[in-house]
Amino acid sequence: MAIIQVESLSKSFGSNHVLRDFSMQLKEGENLAILGKSGSGKSVLIKCIIRLIHPDSGKITVLGKDISQLDQDEMDLLRADVGFLFQSNALYDSMTVRQNLLFPLRRHWSKERILAEADEAVKEALEDVGLAHTIHMMPAELSGGMRKRIALARTIILKPKVILYDEPTTGLDPITSREISELMLSIQRKYQTAAIIISHDLSSIKMTANRIIMLIEGRNYAEGTFEQLTKLQDPKVREFFVGL
Ligand SMILES: Nc1ncnc2c1ncn2[C@@H]1O[C@H](COP(=O)(O)OP(=O)(O)O)[C@@H](O)[C@H]1O
Ligand SMILES: [Mg+2]
């Protein structure tokens, strides 16, 4: 069974036809990268998958459920299984790291479960990203790479079955970008999660992705491994790989 299936998705904003008949499948356990230029519709796609944006047409199935058919409670339940790492991190600046990590637990766990298990869950998530010592710090005290790690800890604390990464390394220096990519791999290994990684960072994609889809002109223009795509002669694909 596909973890996520997108069939003939289309979405326009006025005369801006962002997604045109876009289809894809995320398989169990794989890291799938969506590679596309800035403004090509990568974030729109991911927002459709978590139903923050409603597509004009097409069908999206997440963990076996047609998301257009779910009521709000069912969608909230599904969201616990679908971790989302925002490009902006979306940490709460007025809350400590611990409070930021408790936030998703408050939303999805009972009071009893929080009392019994939250401290351990916060500890494990922070250890997973190598930042146990920051538990009482404020986001403003952390570097960009550390904030990205905390956002990742908050994403994995609910042990999602699938993680959606929106430009996880954009804006980070090459060394930090590599560290975040390594972390994404170690999370894939430890929790056997499937992931969609939206990016235009080729070195991160090369490290983390088992498969790549090229989002060009709103369509699934080409897909394959990094090796396979670098061999294609199509100029629209080639321009992503010039210099490699
Ligand atoms: N809520 C919105 N209203 C109008 N236009 C939007 C909206 N969200 C995205 N767009 C447009 O859709 C296109 C794709 O945006 P986006 O998915 O954010 O690109 P990217 O691939 O860089 O993530 C852009 O032209 C953007 O301006
Ligand atoms: Mg984007």
CA of 46 to the centre of ligand 1 (A): 11
Q: What is the 3-state secondary structure (H, E, C) of 6-29?
A: EEEEEEEECCEEEEEEEEEEECCC
Dig out the tokens for 16 from the structure.
Answer: 């801006």
Task: Tell me the CA end-to-end span of the chain in Å, nearest whole number.
Answer: 35
Nearest residue (CA) to ligand 1, atom 14: 41
Instruction: Give the sign of the dihedral formed by CA 207, CA 210, CA 215, CA 216.
Output: positive
How much is the pLDDT for 161? 97
Give the binding-site residues of ligand 1, using a 6 Å CB cut-off: 13, 16, 18, 36, 38-44
pLDDT tens string, the chain, 244 residues long: the values are 899 999 999 999 999 999 999 999 999 999 999 999 999 999 999 999 999 999 999 999 999 999 999 999 999 999 999 999 999 999 999 999 999 999 999 999 999 999 999 999 999 999 999 999 999 999 999 999 999 999 999 999 999 999 999 999 998 999 999 999 999 999 999 999 999 999 989 999 999 999 999 999 999 999 999 999 999 999 999 999 987 6
| β-bridge mates for residue 195, sequence order | 31, 163
Task: Determine contact, residues 138/84, Cβ cutoff 8 Å.
Answer: no
Q: Residue 34 corresponds to which tokens in the numbers above?
A: 């969506």
Ligand 1: which of 11, 15, 17, 18 to mutate, judged by most atoms within 8 Å of the beta carbon? 18
Ligand having the closest approach to the CA of 34? 1
Q: Which ligand is nearest to the CA of 40?
A: 1
d(CA 77, CA 59): 19
- Residue closest via CA to ligand 1's atom 25 equals 39
pTM here?
0.95
* Domains, the chain: 1-81+161-244 (3.40.50.300), 83-159 (no CATH)
Q: Would you say 146 and 138 are in contact if contact means Cβ atoms under 8 Å apart? A: no
pLDDT of residue 130: 96
